[in-house]
Amino acid sequence: MNFLLDYFKGILIGAGAILPGISSGVFCVIFGIYEKLVDTVLNFFHDFKKNLIFLLPLFLGGVTGILLVGKILNFLFIVHPMPTKFCFIGLILGSIPVLFKKANQEKGFRIHYLIFLMASFFIGILSIKLEHILPQLFNLEISESYFFYMVLAGFLMSVGIVVPGVSSSVILMSLGIYNIYLSSIATFNISILVPLGIGVVIGSIVFLKIIQFLLNNYYTATFYIIIGFVLGSVLVIYPRIYI
């Protein structure tokens, strides 16, 4: 039962890596596995068997989410955009009280923590604008020969996978390769997916270490930053709330 439940969580986490405005990290936070996932990935070989048992269903579900369910959800976003968006908005907003409880469990609430929340929230709002502005600045003719550019794109994409509330799809849109990314998944274009994957692996390790450091040393402030990004992701999913 735990395997199937974690597999389902992995499906949504994987889908979050390809849908605009959705963050894989948000789902990890909502499911209450974010901190454990960070520690497990960074200390994978310290307890190989235990960590493998935890990560395997999440990994398999993630692959399923990217290859299969992501297409279904993308279809729902096109055919039934309003119900689908409100479904995700409800899921995200419903997690906010849990996040506040988790953020305050160590030192309790302090008014100055709201500064961190507001700062990350406004960054989330800024990402909505960048989604429309940056593709025009990065008017690039990307070809399969741009191996290192794809590695860089994967590295930056990992921010959206690791940091809750930051959409990896928005980052790829900003770099002008989101459509290439989707078509590569649909056609299993290895020449694009491999360098992207290399960048994602490298970036994930780097940013996971940063997140782990912040959680270990600035736990409450880090969680308020995460809450701000999570709230900002609502506006990315349904920007007309903001506009």
* pLDDT, tens digit, 9 for 90 and up, residues 141-188: 555 456 788 888 889 888 878 877 677 776 776 677 777 787 787 777
Tell me the whole-structure pTM to 2 decimals: 0.70
181, 229 Cβ separation under 8 angstroms: no
Q: Tokens for 120?
A: 């990350």
Cα-based distances in Å from 55 to 47, 100, 123, 155: 12, 26, 31, 21
In our burial notation (b when 16+ CB lie closer than 10 A, e otherwise), range 185-202 reads: beeeeeebbebbebbbee
Query: What integer pLDDT is reported at residue 129 of this predicted model?
Result: 63
